[in-house]
Structure 1
Amino acid sequence: MKELKFYNKDRDGNTKVCGSMTIKNQTDSSADLFFYGDIVSETWQSEWYEDDMAPGDVKKFLDQLDGTENINIHINSGGGSVFGGIAIYNMLRRNNAHKTVYVDGLAASIASVIMMAGDEIVMPKNATVMIHKPSASYFFTTKNADDLRKDAESLDTCQEAIMQTYMTKAKVDKEEIEQKVNDETWLTGEEAAELFDIKVEEANDAVACAGSSMFFCYKNVPTSLTAQGKNAKKKDEQRPLSRQDIKEIFNESFSEYQAREKEKKELLESLNKYGERKQNG
């Protein structure tokens, strides 16, 4: 087994594992790849490969699958970094293996984009997919109207790239998918199969939907998923923030903001180059 853990800091500044990528049962002809937990890591904030637009640790990890004939991709994730997720999708699509994606419990937000990398997508009736508009969060950050308009344009570009990805598997027209995205739509296996080319299997109780720190970003999280998070909070009551806590959070948030700005710029440049290549081709 090979594993790449994703780490992020909680509100107390403690670095904790928030998710992972794992390769299991690898042979010369096949491998199982698992995306469990949040697909985001503090190590991605400034480390990007210029050619692939992928976090360096992710690229190195996924390169281990080169030459594999069949890859079974298992997803149970509440989402994560839109930039990291798009990069992972692109890397998986470029891999020549036959890829079968299994939604073990949940494929929300950017995890639903990674799901589209499969040549086949398999999903139990009681698994969940969520599609929504990409968003930017602001914490202790001041922006003027020009900054916000620029961010809105960046998010529109990201959404268009995501929409193009969804349409590769869509069974309905773009307008219907886009309306679901705009509304933040949570779908069961059967509902998702009405929109996308997905094979639905019988309900599977073996894997519970992943809890996620991303849930606070969403507006329509099903109560069945939020209940898990509420129970976890009761076990780990959070202490009040001190003045020093607030100062440290501000410093970290500003650094993260600068990193996100860099990521957005690089992704947009990559998308522009991709558009130019399509026009010239």
Structure 2
Amino acid sequence: MQSLIPMVIESTGRGERAYDIYSLLLRERIIFLGTPINDQVSNLIVAQLLYLDQQDHDREISLYINSPGGEIYPGLAIYDTMQIIQAPVSTIAVGWTASLGTLMLAAGTRGLRYALPNATIHMHPAGGGAQGYAPDVEIAAKELLRMQSRLHEILARHTGQSKEQIARDFQRDRFMSADEAVQYGLIDQVLAMNDKKMKLLADIPPKPMEEKAE
């Protein structure tokens, strides 16, 4: 099933023009990563980061992440680009971030790494499905271990945890709430709910419990 991309119609002096929602977000320096990470997705995110950095080195770029992770090499291409550009990159976890999605989240500019209150942050060991001739499987296994070690080094750098602690903590699947991610050093702050909406909810009286018929 082909994914649906909302279109927005804007009226100008030259008539109406249709924009896809991602182009409008990009105009506001917002990038949305909402899919698994592969070569195509990585190239799109890298291109957007480079474009926005070229437009203004000083203005913040916001990267919203709702991604289960994906392929290591494309993910590291995004990570490296985030680190080499001059513009600060704010990262925001929406829904859930997993694996390389969590790496992207932690890689934001220090002080600008956020999560929504009900976001889930997940990490697990690097995985691979090498098969074929034994020597090739061995080569692939060594490369996987090299990549896993590199991911641990990166997470250690951005969280303040030791590489050894990262390796121990992520030997198996690990899920964190937004508050737990702050304590671990993956993010800096949990974004607060809208005060006006929370007040409206608080003003709604609770419904009385219905009595069950005997």
In structure 2, do the counterparts of structure 1 residues 115 and 23 end up closer, same or farther at CA, with 3 Å as the change threshold? farther
Deviation at 1:87, TM superposition (A): 0.3
| Number of residue-to-residue matches in the alignment | 173
Give the structure with higher Rg (CA): 2
Partner of 2:71: 81
Are residues 1:70 and 2:60 paired?
A: yes
Partner of 2:37: 39
Contact 1:36 1:75 in 2 (8 A): yes
Partner of 1:208: none
Deviation at 1:18, TM superposition (A): 11
Contact 2:107 2:158 in 1 (8 A): no
Are residues 1:163 and 2:152 paired?
A: yes
Q: CA RMSD in A?
A: 2.9
Partner of 1:243: none
Contact 1:177 1:195 in 2 (8 A): no
Q: Which amino acid aligns with 2:149?
A: E
Match of 2:119 among 127, 147, 163: 127
Secondary structure of the 1:96 match is coil
Partner of 1:96: 86
In structure 2, do the counterparts of structure 1 residues 179 and 58 end up closer, same or farther at CA, with 3 Å as the change threshold? same
Contact 1:78 1:106 in 2 (8 A): yes
Between 1:178-187 and 1:74-83, the stretch displaced more is: 178-187
- What do residues 41-90 of structure 1 show as CA deviations (whole Å, max 9, x unaligned)? 5x58xxxxxxxxx74x5544433212332101100011111111110111
2: CA distance between counterparts of 1:162 and 1:203? 32
Secondary structure of the 2:29 match is strand
Partner of 1:254: none
Structure 2, unaligned stretches of length 5 or more?
Answer: 6-20, 195-214
Partner of 1:105: 95
Alignment TM-score, normalising by the size of structure 1? 0.54
2: CA distance between counterparts of 1:60 and 1:188? 31
Secondary structure of the 2:70 match is coil
Give the fraction of aligned pairs with identical amino acids, expressed as a percent.
Answer: 21
Partner of 1:179: 168
Deviation at 1:202, TM superposition (A): 4.1
- What do residues 88-145 of structure 1 show as CA deviations (whole Å, max 9, x unaligned)? 111111111111111011110111111123112111332111112211125xx4231x
Secondary structure of the 2:127 match is coil
In structure 2, do the counterparts of structure 1 residues 177 and 64 end up closer, same or farther at CA, with 3 Å as the change threshold? same
In structure 2, do the counterparts of structure 1 residues 107 and 92 end up closer, same or farther at CA, with 3 Å as the change threshold? same
Contact 2:91 2:104 in 1 (8 A): no
Alignment of 1:225-244 (within 5 A): none
Alignment TM-score, normalising by the size of structure 2? 0.69
In structure 2, do the counterparts of structure 1 residues 59 and 102 end up closer, same or farther at CA, with 3 Å as the change threshold? closer
In structure 2, do the counterparts of structure 1 residues 152 and 17 end up closer, same or farther at CA, with 3 Å as the change threshold? farther
Are residues 1:115 and 2:105 paired?
A: yes
Contact 2:105 2:186 in 1 (8 A): no
Deviation at 1:176, TM superposition (A): 2.1
Deviation at 1:24, TM superposition (A): 4.0
Structure 1, unaligned stretches of length 5 or more?
Answer: 1-13, 45-53, 205-281
